[in-house]
Amino acid sequence: MSNETELPYVVTEQVGHLLRRAYQRHLAIFQRHAEEHNLTSVQFVTLCALRDIGPCSQKDLVEATAVDQATIRGIIDRLQTRELITVSRDETDGRKVVMALTQAGADLVAAMVPRGHMITEKTLLPLNPAERIALLFLLRKISLEAGDLEDKAEP
């Protein structure tokens, strides 16, 4: 028997559980500080992606935000309803749909960015500067595409 099977499995000590708890804490902080703008964290990420990459397809948004196709479609609909983005046909390829920020969307992103910094600060508040750097480094490392690490994993 390996050592792994001899150790008790305490779900509250597992990486998935701890990541979920940390994310839940972050989302609660985000909601408290974004409430007046009626904006979810995923909507904010989508608006920031459109600000950063400019007008783009739904596929581009999925890649930029790491949000799945079905979820991004709902986000696009809600942001369009609020007139924060436009959805139109590509001028060169009429089959392709392009999303872009409206001025209201750009203004909202500009208003939220300082809050975004504050939200990050509040999320990381329990950590000292070295722990913050380490956490962000490790999160980036484990966030790599599954295929990037698949070959390195032991069976």
Nearest-5° Cα angle at 84, 23 to 88: 115
The answer to whether residue 3 scores a pLDDT higher than 60 is no
- Tell me: pLDDT of 1 over 50: no
Q: What is the pLDDT of residues 6-21, one digit of tens each?
A: 889 999 999 999 999 9
pTM comes to 0.83
When pLDDT is cut at 50, 70 and 90, the band that residue 92 belongs to is confident
What architecture is domain 3-140?
A: Orthogonal Bundle (1.10)
* Cα Dmax for the chain: 63
pLDDT per position as a tens digit, 31-90: 999 999 999 999 999 999 999 999 999 999 999 999 999 999 999 999 999 999 999 987
- Are the beta carbons of 106 and 51 closer than 8 angstroms? yes
Report the distance separating Cα 20 and Cα 128, nearest Å: 21
Per-residue b or e along 48-79, where b marks 16 or more CB atoms closer than 10 Å to that residue's CB: bbbeeeeebebebbbebbebeeeebeebbebb
